[in-house]
Structure 1
């Protein structure tokens, strides 16, 4: 009888075991479903999917520390679940590994999606825009305002001429003014450095601007640096797109006739000053000696004064064949063009008189 009771207990425990294992498995799965789920469930509002957190993972950070940082940032629910998923990725021999960088992550993403992003190095892309006509100094100030790097670090890097990588760069170039192509760029956040930004912009110049010169260089007497220099002056002078070829034509004609260019933007560049309608260049400033003062010095300034866009580069390579030798700005972006000095001076007086009347009226 006792033997029968023992056998019955054995069968009872044997029958109970699958039930216990099932309960454990269910509890484990329930825990994993909770632990790997997004900490914040996406709501139905349009802003629900816009919740993001930027997190920086320094080089050499362990998987366990990454998990702790993610949990502290509210991006995952459990470091234990993170550790298990890390083991799973390694056990499966997934190519890659957790990579350093700055990531844009959302608490509405599941743990697996966040892990995949960091494992494959899908770092955040940073965007920046350089307008046409900006100088190196303006770029440096802009990059510092974005928090990319210090302005002085950028200017120092722009004084290093990487002719080994870009052999087309002119010889004896003191800095890269004019050759950093104005455009909108995207760069991985882990690659933000002055040199990486400069390389990106030089690559763009090589792809977009250089072929224009190579195709049309037989139609001009300007070498590469002279072309970019004159185009940078056209860029700073022109506001109306339709006037660019004419302005380029005036400067080209003055150069051919041995006349001084007499361009205000070159004086401004040399002085580090930007004139406005209310604060125009003074006579004393125009007479201030500088290698960039094209009222005092014949020919082109020693370097470009800004980064010209394609329109100014093309206009300089294919200038309008014009009889005009002078022009003066109307302060609305347009210019009055003149063939003689007498007509130019009359136009200048008329514009100044109009400006004076506007000030009095206001």
Structure 2
């Protein structure tokens, strides 16, 4: 390679103005890339390896000319490892600018609200461009959010950021909580928020569902939350079948039909909205809710009213299942 560069330089000197024109054309002319493309430059890659990768991706025409240009412009800085986006028809000058000065491509991994720790670990393991093992993750430890990362980042680094985000968010919202809540610690708020997150997918219902559970806790009533029973029946996973009477009757610390108060831990990772709903619930005297058949819930303050709502829901279910 060094011999090729010396020969190239000699030819340019001997060619005089003609050589200068050729070099300028090779430096400035549009490249062969038909559309913007991201290319990964592996750590530890030498100039030849980078040139081969760019050539195989269609970014440059000739890796040898690329290598010569790198050497001739070496004072402008080294080529950096990472994933970079090259614009369509990038010239050799633009290619080297990207490799020396551009920010790496920002990839995204989204951890949705309401996932269990196992589900979040699975998503991180499948995220392309992240490397290394996922460290142990406690239930409810990670804040559901979209996290940016670059090719080559570690999965552990994303876990640390998500865990820090959950701690900081929970601490901030805890300081802003409503007075007289039956929650003694931020962890208790996290536990209840995980239940609210799993109970409703409607944003406008979160504070109301939270209020029902808060009112039940104040009266020492069992929470009777189906998602907690499902979590127990699936052994901390996701239940892939309807709940049964045996599930509701099982002796398990997460069975909130048999046990009063909060379960011993979260059942999923709640998002910011669910945390806020638990720490600032709606002001209401409602103690019950049941599905209303439209994706939402019917709420009630008395058992008599709740039983009527349950009867309506069961009638809807019978109509839907009728042939």
1:28 to partner: Cα distance: 4.0
1:252 to partner: Cα distance: 1.1
The answer to whether the Cα contact below 8 Å between 2:129 and 2:150 also exists between their aligned partners in 1 is no
Give the structure 2 partner of residue 120 of structure 1: 101
Q: Distance in 1 between matches of 2:129 and 2:253?
A: 32
State yes or no: 1:110 paired with 2:91.
yes
The answer to whether the Cα contact below 8 Å between 1:36 and 1:78 also exists between their aligned partners in 2 is no
The answer to whether the Cα contact below 8 Å between 2:125 and 2:133 also exists between their aligned partners in 1 is no
**Which among 308, 312, 320 is matched to residue 358 of structure 1?**
320
The answer to whether the Cα contact below 8 Å between 2:31 and 2:92 also exists between their aligned partners in 1 is no
Q: Distance in 2 between matches of 1:255 and 1:317?
A: 14
Question: Residue 73 of structure 2: SS of its match in structure 1?
Answer: helix
The answer to whether the Cα contact below 8 Å between 2:42 and 2:81 also exists between their aligned partners in 1 is yes
State yes or no: 1:64 paired with 2:48.
yes
State yes or no: 1:214 paired with 2:175.
yes
Give the structure 1 partner of residue 158 of structure 2: 197
1:244 to partner: Cα distance: 1.9
The answer to whether the Cα contact below 8 Å between 1:219 and 1:317 also exists between their aligned partners in 2 is no
Q: Report matched runs for 1:203-352 at 5 Å.
A: 203-216=164-177, 219-220=180-181, 221-270=183-232, 271=234, 272-274=237-239, 280-352=242-314
Q: Report matched runs for 1:168-179 at 5 Å.
A: 175=138, 177-179=139-141
Aligned pair in 2 of structure 1 residues 68, 348: CA closer, same or farther (>3 Å)? same
Give TM-score, length-normalised by structure 1.
Answer: 0.75
1:181 to partner: Cα distance: 1.6
Partner deviation per Cα, 1:303-344 (whole Å, 9 max, x = no partner) = 212222222212211223332222111232221223333443
The answer to whether the Cα contact below 8 Å between 1:100 and 1:121 also exists between their aligned partners in 2 is no
Structure 2 gap segments, 5+ residues each: 1-11
Question: Residue 109 of structure 2: SS of its match in structure 1?
Answer: strand
RMSD: 2.8
Q: Distance in 2 between matches of 1:318 and 1:28?
A: 72
Question: Residue 352 of structure 1: SS of its match in structure 2?
Answer: helix
Question: Residue 178 of structure 1: SS of its match in structure 2?
Answer: coil
Structure 1 gap segments, 5+ residues each: 1-19, 42-47, 160-174
1:209 to partner: Cα distance: 4.0
**Which structure has the bigger radius of gyration?**
1
Aligned pair in 2 of structure 1 residues 351, 113: CA closer, same or farther (>3 Å)? same
